[in-house]
Amino acid sequence: MDPIKIIQKYYDPKSVSYYFLVKHSEAVAKKAVEIAKRLKNPDIDLKFIKEAAMLHDIGVFLTDKPEIDCYGDKPYVCHGYLGREILKKEGFPKHGLVCERHILTGLTVQDIEDQNLPIPKRDMVPISIEEQIICFADKFFSKNEEFLTKEKPIEKIRMEIMRFGKDKVEVFDKWLKEFQ
Ligand SMILES: [Fe+2]
C-alpha cells in the first residue's frame, strides 16, 4: 500500500493541512523506524511501522483545528478514532488501531470518563510493539513549524503529558528507557 495515495484521497496536496500532515507524519515515521531498527527485534514489522506512522493522523481533517488548516466539526481529540474509521473503510484495520491508540500515551475507558472526552468509551491504549513505538515517536513532534521536524526536548514532552496525569508520564518514561 502507498500511504501517500490514501492521504491524497482525503487531502488536497496543495493545501496547508496536507503540508502539516505529511511533514509531521514523515518525521514520526523516520523516528519510529530508527527506533525499531535499533531494537533489532526480528518480530517487529518495519514496513507496517512506516505505513502506519504515515497514516496515524489521517483523521485530523475531520476536526476543528484552524492552525493546521482543518475545519471539521469534531473536537481535535476525535482524530484518533476517526482515523481508525477511515483506515478500516480503506481495508487497513490494523493500521487503523494505530490511529485510535496514539493519543497521549493511550487513553483508557477511565481517562475517557474522567475527562469527559467526546470519544467512544473503549480502551485506546497502544498494545503491540509497533503501536507503542509509533505512539512514542509521535510525542517528539507537533504540527507546528517549530517542532514539525525537529525533536522536542524530553522535559517539554513530559510537561505537556503531565497535564493529563502522572500515570501518562510514567508510561512515557518507561518507553524512554526501552526505546530511546
Ligand atoms: Fe495525533
Taking the centre of ligand 1 as the mean of its atom positions, its distance from the CA of residue 43, in whole angstroms, is 25
Mean pLDDT of the chain: 97
The DSSP call for residue 66 is: G
Taking the centre of ligand 1 as the mean of its atom positions, its distance from the CA of residue 102, in whole angstroms, is 6
Q: How confident is the model at residue 103 (pLDDT cuts 50, 70, 90)?
A: very high
Taking the centre of ligand 1 as the mean of its atom positions, its distance from the CA of residue 64, in whole angstroms, is 13
Taking the centre of ligand 1 as the mean of its atom positions, its distance from the CA of residue 174, in whole angstroms, is 20
pLDDT exceeds 90 at position 152: yes
Cα distances from 155 to residues 41, 62, 135, 160, 161, in angstroms, run 28, 31, 17, 9, 10
Interval 75-93 mean pLDDT = 98
Give the total number of structural domains in the chain: 1
Q: How confident is the model at residue 144 (pLDDT cuts 50, 70, 90)?
A: confident
Q: Is residue 113 part of a domain?
A: no
Interval 132-145 mean pLDDT = 96
Taking the centre of ligand 1 as the mean of its atom positions, its distance from the CA of residue 39, in whole angstroms, is 24
CA distance 37 to 79: 28
Q: Is residue 108 part of a domain?
A: no
- The pLDDT > 90 percentage for the chain reads 97
Cα distances from 13 to residues 6, 7, 48, in angstroms, run 12, 9, 23
What's 18's domain CATH number?
1.10.3210
Q: Is residue 118 part of a domain?
A: no
Domain that holds residue 79: 3-102+125-179
pLDDT exceeds 90 at position 15: yes
Q: Is residue 95 part of a domain?
A: yes
- CB-based burial of residue 14 (10 Å sphere; 0-12 exposed, 13-18 middle, 19+ buried)? exposed
CA distance 174 to 167: 11
Q: Is residue 156 part of a domain?
A: yes
pLDDT exceeds 90 at position 128: yes
CA distance 40 to 61: 35
Taking the centre of ligand 1 as the mean of its atom positions, its distance from the CA of residue 157, in whole angstroms, is 14
Q: How confident is the model at residue 168 (pLDDT cuts 50, 70, 90)?
A: very high
